[in-house]
Amino acid sequence: MVIALYPGSFDPVTKGHVDIAERAAPLFEQLIVAVYDAPPKHLLFTTEERVELMRKALVHLPNVRVTFFSGLTVEFAKEVKADVIVRGLRMSSDFEREFEMALMNKKLAPNMELICFMTNLEYEFISSSLLKEVCRLGGCIDDLVPEHVAAALRDKLHR
């Protein structure tokens, strides 16, 4: 009976994120997908918007709960009784960053385990930052995000 936490900025959720949640959810009793409220980067969507977009994207997964958190990921993981943190890996640069974070998290919370899912080949090139840039410049992002996210992006960027 393991609870897992999938934390991220999710600004906004992409098909890459949805794929990780869909593959992780069946392996755990519950998967808590948590939007980090204040990552050290410029955000396009508010915390409430990111949570709402994620909720809609994962509504088909019964054992998934979507929420948000502030502060240290490992502290929030303990609060929701998660034993495992889930992350996704696309390329070697992701690995270096995740590895560094994992070692720090291990120092902060020795009992917490990290499980990384390799990206689906189809979604390897998808990142929230790149697709915001492409959408801003008028490129088509319809295949890369759920339909409601594409609409929200267009609304934000071309209003």
- Given the residues 9, 50, 87, 128, select the one marked as catalytic: 128
- Is 128 among the residues known to form the active site? yes
Closer CB to ligand ADP, 77 or 159, in the complex: 77
- Is 90 among the residues known to form the active site? yes
The count of C-alpha atoms lying within 13 angstroms of the C-alpha of 40, restricted to the half-sphere facing its C-beta, is 2
Closer CB to ligand ADP, 95 or 151, in the complex: 95
What is the smallest separation between the CB atom of 136 and ligand ADP, expressed in angstroms?
Answer: 17
User: Hey, which bits of the chain come out as E strands?
Assistant: 3-8, 30-36, 64-69, 84-89, 113-118
The closest residue (CB) to ligand ADP is 16
- Is 41 among the residues known to form the active site? yes
- Is 154 among the residues known to form the active site? no
Residues assigned a catalytic role: 17, 41, 90, 128
